[in-house]
Amino acid sequence: MRQSIVHIALVVKDYDEAIEFYTKKLHFTLLEDTYQPEQNKRWVVVAPPDSVGTTILLARASTPEQESYIGNQTGGRVFLFLNTDDFWRDYHDMVSKGVEFVREPKEQPYGMVAVFKDLYGNLWDLLELKKDHPLSERTK
């Protein structure tokens, strides 16, 4: 059996401000932005540059309950993990663009890591996995 996770939905306040953050500050690629008139919503998909794995569906909150989860989809835990081939390049670029890091860079047994917030406050790990890490091959 072969399966894969195609999208992870990230609840956002506004499509355009989320697209701006992910494409300008994190260099993600906008893969799709299609209006769906029958539901009065957009299908907005972004992914890290040259990524072939899971993408992020930017899903605008459509109810007050959904709005209450914007920026806190995992109750304050790190939610997403962005692996890079050059930690320091991306860390310095993100800092220069105003991305807020809440945990400073630290060498761990699995690689280099720092925690940052997205535009709504969701926590992300910026990672550079060591070459011998079991997931390192899967993220190339």
pLDDT tens-digit map of 28-58: 999 999 999 999 999 999 999 999 889 999 9
User: Distance between CA atoms of 84 and 75, rounded to whole angstroms?
Assistant: 25
pLDDT surpassing 80 at residue 140:
no
CA atoms within 13 A on the CB side of 38: 0
Domain boundaries, the chain: 7-139
Q: Which numeric CATH code is attached to 7-139?
A: 3.10.180.10
For 97-110, how does the pLDDT look when each residue is reduced to its tens digit (9 = 90+)? 999 999 999 999 99
